[in-house]
Amino acid sequence: METYTAMRHFADSWGLLAMAAFFVGVVVFTLRPGSKQKAKEAADIPLKDD
């Protein structure tokens, strides 16, 4: 099997599944309880006076 064909087959099957799982993981991590305060602190960093 040619390298290009093997990589394309992988991307069409397991690669897509891995990217979807990563996306769902990032969304869950971002929206988890307790992350609002950390996001607020990170958003306020540019506004802090040194």
pTM for the whole thing?
Answer: 0.61
Q: What is the mean pLDDT of residues 3-20?
A: 88
DSSP 35: H
d(CA 14, CA 22): 12
Q: CA–CA distance from 9 to each of 15, 18, 31 (Å)?
A: 9, 14, 33
CA 9 to chain centre: 23
Instruction: For residue 25, give both structure tokens.
Output: 């993981």
Q: What pLDDT digit, counting tens, does each position of 14-50 carry?
A: 888 999 999 999 999 989 988 888 889 999 999 988 6
Ranges of H-type helices in the chain: 3-10, 16-30, 35-44
